[in-house]
Chain A
Amino acid sequence: MSDVVLQGITHRFESEDVLKNIDLTIPHGSFYTLLGPSGCGKTTLLRVLAGFIVPSEGRVFIGSEDVTELPCEKRNMGVVFQNYALFPNMTVGENIAYGLKVRGLSRTEIQERCSRYVELAGLGDYVSRHVQELSGGQQQRVAVARALAIEPQMLLLDEPMSNLDVALRAKMREEIRAIQQQTGITTLFITHDQQEALSISDYVAVMREGAVLQTGTPEDIYNHPEGEFVANFVGTTNELENQQLRPEQLMLANADQGGTPVRISTVRFTGPFYEYTAVNEQTGEQYHILERNRGTGSARSVGDACSLVPCE
């Protein structure tokens, strides 16, 4: 199995450490996400993997091969850029065929492979279009197809959704996940959107200021966050009885039922849920509570005195 291993990666730029001693193992065939706020170094780490940057320290292995010094054009990595970086002087088909032509494949081979990935990305009607004529979502499909067509060792996606609107984002997320599962390709995905990260990934690494804070499955990260930053970055947290609890892990009970006494300060209806904020009037501590909409209206109103208890 050719897992991808990053060993002690440190990168300095103008005497500032943008990556700090990062160790990471990306299991073969997995969908791995780097999650973090902008400027945390996640794109730099992707560029190290792609071979655009040689890190100041540390090694990059694919399987047992040390590729740290291997230039990007010899590394066989499929990269999808944030702005897609499609070649405006070429058609959709020419963009997808570019990497194959570079590899000197025969014409029939190029055609055969090209049409396979055009099909996979659902671009059948657009092959001879120029890329400027495409919508954002279509451009992204071309970028993915172009990266996959070279049948890379790994697919690297650098915030590919950030230029799409919300509705399209969810759709493209599903498509990318489906393509990944179909092809079984090891994938590194970069995002600052925690929901995106949790819903699409096999594994997530949370990054901050050039360091990896926690790695694990989405459930691990969400349910057992290590430290305040991770806990708050992947969702809202409440501290109750020395436990970190998510809003949906709390419930509001009647005031006489024990637990922590609170008063409701806001009620927000979002459709499937009610979002409450409540304040403990003695300590001033604020809590966020999420309750399912049972179709019978809100059980609590602003000003109600309740007691706060963890769900069973």
Chain B
Amino acid sequence: MNSPSPKTRANAFLPLWYAFAAFLCLGYIVLPFFYTLRSATFVDGAFTLSVFQEFFGNPNHVQVALNSLKLGVGTVLVCGTLGTVLALYMTFLAGKHKMILHILLLSPMMIPGVITVIAFIQLYGESGLVTKALQMLLNLSSAPFTFKGFGAILFVIAYTQYVYFYLNVYVALKYLDYSQIEAARSLGASWGRVFKDVILPVIKPALLLSTILTFASGVSSFSGPNLIGGYKVLSTQIVLSKVNNHLEMASVQAVVMFAISISVMLLVRWYGRKTSGVQADRVATRVVPLRANPLLVLGARVVVIAQIVLILLPIAAIVYLSFMTTGSIMQEIFPHSFTLENYQTIFAKPRVLQPLLNSLEMSALAVVIGLLITVPSAYIIVRNRTKLSGVMRFLIMLPSALPASLIAINLINAFAQENIFAFNVPLIGSYIILPIAYTVMALPMLLSSNEVAIGSLHHTMEEASKSLGAGPLRTFVSVVIPNTVPGILAGGVLMFIRMIGEYTMSALLYGIHNRPISISIVTNLQEYETGISLAYGVLVILVCYVALALIFKLDKNRFV
């Protein structure tokens, strides 16, 4: 009997995989960042800090950085309040229609940011539906508000990013011990005290994690500031610098953005460690409907209803307007000339349809490449907890700390010329650069979702199959695949949704061969082809919802 045991076979594969993962992570994540640092500090082949001096010496540049910071802080405050209130309401007070409310509250995450922003402009912009309705209702001679600048941008971001807080806090509250609340109440604590002493310690880790996530997305947000305007931030200035061929400045701006988001992230982590919250028992406890102050309940209910209206309005508006002629949208106060022309144009002209096909193809490609990298890696990490697998995990998770603009600038700096990691083919301007960027961005989420899917398959299940006489192949096909693939696919589909409307990296990296739908939505809008732009948006939303239905079919428990 000399047949090698499965363990020795796995060991032969392991170093090969580590080498492969190291090649990809170094070539496409780590080294490109150093290319950016070099671009920011080397001018004409000599080390210099002159570009940094140019940035920090110019009050306009510094103001832009401060604006980004302010947007990040604002995002955390608004989203934190909104998301936590909604999570508390849904946990303690929601009775009827809880499931449908929950799905609705999660839905903003499922629509690409750029489409949301455009829908908001159609509603609240200078000639938006809500603006005009209010103007008529109040009999005003001009618009009751201007939808521009910090407030407007924060409004849009708050609407999309509160989901992080909502979902994380909602999940954390499942592990709250209800008898502790009853105990505190019976000892005479007010609801305020109960929140501070019982609830807050349990949701604190969720709050800190969400703070990191929303701050990062606030600091780096691009579609809001770019389309609404009136407020310059780093992400918009990076694109401007790149367009003006001042790549050194773009690199400096991207590094500054990274410095802001990473230092806040480290600060929050440090704070979290310093004041570690209670480790809740990881056992979900029974849910008891609570009797709370009716005024409090009413207040929370108003917030929920307002939020649901805010969520549904943009979708309704964008669908409605996509069936109007562009002329009617531009000229009539409340457009009512129904037409299918926008959709007909898209499907009749290959040139107009192409961006949609490009995005479908590139997001799918990114997810497939991402899964090919992360599925074996997750399997190794789950089954083989060693230092080496820990390093691999760290490298694959790195992009989660990088703003989208920085990932794009890194790739430009690394692959504008020949690079050994791309086998000396310049990638910038080629089709593949966008799928690569999408893949880099998707890697962390794909890896953690695969870890969950594979971790749920206990190793004894494979052993059980083998002890019953099944060989490795049979075990893989009839036990491993059916029990992990739904989770893996659901994670993949979710990333597909995230990537299909990606705008920030697309704006920096797209070329004539790979013009994505997000870019076409914006250019059509700017070229007064509003109808086409909105019809594009509806088609993307449609794709997202079909994909979402697929996730629910694959993995029912994903969001609950």
CB distance from A96 to the nearest CB of B (A): 10
CB distance from A121 to the nearest CB of B (A): 16
Whose C-beta in chain A lies nearest to the C-beta of B474?
A: A102
Task: Say yes or no: B483 contacts A81, CB within 8 Å.
Answer: no
Judged by a CB distance under 8 angstroms, whether A144 is at the interface is: no
Whether A103 touches B461, Cβ cut-off 8 Å, given contacts A54-B5, A70-B1, A89-B482, is: no
Task: Say yes or no: A146 contacts B468, CB within 8 Å.
Answer: yes
CB distance from B157 to the nearest CB of A (A): 40
Interface residues of A in 171-227 (CB under 8 A from B): none
Judged by a CB distance under 8 angstroms, whether A304 is at the interface is: no
CB distance from A97 to the nearest CB of B (A): 10
Task: Say yes or no: B467 contacts A77, CB within 8 Å.
Answer: yes
Determine the main DSSP class of A at the interface with B: loop
Whether A69 touches B2, Cβ cut-off 8 Å, given contacts A81-B464, A87-B479, A87-B483, is: yes
Q: What does the 1/0 interface line of B453-464 toward A look like (CB < 8 Å)?
A: 000001011011
Judged by a CB distance under 8 angstroms, whether A274 is at the interface is: no
Judged by a CB distance under 8 angstroms, whether A4 is at the interface is: no
Task: Say yes or no: B5 contacts A99, CB within 8 Å.
Answer: no
Judged by a CB distance under 8 angstroms, whether B469 is at the interface is: yes
A residues near B483, Cβ cutoff 8 Å: 87-89
Whether A85 touches B466, Cβ cut-off 8 Å, given contacts A54-B5, A69-B2, is: no
Give the total of B residues in contact with A, Cβ under 8 Å.
Answer: 22
Q: What does the 1/0 interface line of A85-102 toward B look like (CB < 8 Å)?
A: 111110000000011001
Judged by a CB distance under 8 angstroms, whether A150 is at the interface is: yes
CB distance from A67 to the nearest CB of B (A): 8
Q: What does the 1/0 interface line of A30-73 toward B look like (CB < 8 Å)?
A: 00000000000000000000111010000000000000111111
Judged by a CB distance under 8 angstroms, whether A79 is at the interface is: yes
Whose C-beta in chain B lies nearest to the C-beta of A54?
A: B5
Judged by a CB distance under 8 angstroms, whether A298 is at the interface is: no
B461, B468, B479: the one within 8 Å of A99 (CB): B468
Q: How far is the CA of A87 from the CA of B460 in the complex (A)?
A: 10
A residues near B464, Cβ cutoff 8 Å: 79, 81, 85-87, 146
Task: Say yes or no: A76 contacts B469, CB within 8 Å.
Answer: yes
Interface residues of B in 471-530 (CB under 8 A from A): 471, 474, 478-479, 482-483
A residues near B470, Cβ cutoff 8 Å: 73, 98-99, 102
Give the total of A residues in contact with B, Cβ under 8 Å.
Answer: 31
Q: Which of B6, B458, B470, B483 has the most CB of A within 10 A?
A: B470
Whether A83 touches B458, Cβ cut-off 8 Å, given contacts A50-B463, A70-B1, A71-B5, is: yes
A residues near B1, Cβ cutoff 8 Å: 68-70
Interface residues of A in 227-248 (CB under 8 A from B): none
A residues near B482, Cβ cutoff 8 Å: 87, 89
Q: How far is the CA of A187 from the CA of B237 in the complex (A)?
A: 73
B residues near A147, Cβ cutoff 8 Å: 467-468
Partner-B contacts on A (CB < 8 A)? 50-52, 54, 68-79, 81-83, 85-89, 98-99, 102-103, 146-147, 150
Partner-A contacts on B (CB < 8 A)? 1-3, 5-6, 458, 460-461, 463-471, 474, 478-479, 482-483
Given A73-B468, A78-B467, A99-B468, list of 16 further CB < 8 A pairs?
A51-B467, A68-B1, A69-B2, A72-B467, A73-B466, A79-B463, A79-B467, A87-B464, A87-B479, A89-B482, A98-B465, A98-B468, A98-B478, A99-B470, A103-B469, A147-B468
